[in-house]
Amino acid sequence: MQLQIRHFDRFVERAESAWPLKATKWTRFYLNPADCSLGVKTAAAKKVLRFDAMGDGITFLTPPLTHETEITGPSALKLYVSSSTSDADIFVVLRVFSSDLKEIVFQGAIDPHTPVGQGWLRASHRALDKKLSKPFRPYHTHTRKQPLRPGQVVALDIEIWPTSIVVPAGCRVGVTVRGKDYVYPGGSGGRQSNFKNELTGCGPFLHNDPRDRPPEIFGGVTSLHFGGTARPSLLLPIIPAKRK
């Protein structure tokens, strides 16, 4: 199997024999509500962070990386969520930032401002297939709806599509939990004549149909819960430097 390992300015071809990679060091980063950081320690006290259920959400960042770090493979985010309504849509964006906190994006299949990785989950579709799910790839059945009771805290396991990126020392890795599609903060990617939607960071396919996301259900307040048994975390596929 040939991979194109992405750096900020180039790709490096490398042969591998398995996917996920055999050398993967699955590393868990916990979301800390006190300073919106990503780190190795869980939140000590119970806390709730809230955001507009159709809004820009909250970003959690690692400290500046002490050494070059490769992330290659699938990722997953564990959240503990409640809603002021009977459902919630969660949009997850895996991101990288330069030392001056400028987001680094890449040319995607279509969109010129594509982040490192993205994932999506509707809370009422949170049921997992336990036989097919893996820690790094939750597999949802989508066979029945499980509406929320307002204020009810539920665990959500969210798949983030596979990626490959080598992040230089001094940069940061981030994860954003949003209530709508990702929008690149640096400006528009334009609009192609055969696309309905402008390119804003996730291609032409957006989750903005009011028939699917009626405001009375998806326009409330989403709460992220921390502490006690709620230990939200991001699982990343770190590839050790000595392996490369």
Tens place of pLDDT per residue across the chain (244 aa): 899 999 999 999 999 999 999 999 999 999 999 999 999 888 878 999 999 999 999 999 999 999 999 999 999 999 999 999 999 999 999 999 999 999 999 998 888 899 999 999 999 999 999 999 999 999 999 999 999 999 999 999 999 999 999 999 999 999 999 999 999 988 776 777 667 778 888 888 889 899 999 999 999 999 999 999 999 999 999 999 865 4
pLDDT of residue 111: 82
pLDDT of residue 110: 86
User: d(Cα 141, Cα 204) in Å, to the nearest integer?
Assistant: 26
pLDDT of residue 202: 86
pLDDT of residue 193: 64
User: How far, in Å, are 55, 110, 209 from residue 76 at the CA level?
Assistant: 22, 24, 26
User: d(Cα 194, Cα 234) in Å, to the nearest integer?
Assistant: 37
The residue length of the chain stands at 244
Q: CATH number of the domain that 223 lies in? A: 2.60.120.260
DSSP run (H or E) holding 216: helix 215-218
pLDDT of residue 57: 98
Task: Look at phi and psi of residue 154 and say left if phi exceeds 0, alpha if psi is from -120 to 50, else beta.
Answer: beta
Which residue range(s) make up the domain with 56?
2-243
Instruction: Specify whether the CB–CB gap between 90 and 192 falls below 8 A.
Output: no
Is the pTM higher than 0.85? The answer reads yes
Q: Count the domains in the chain.
A: 1
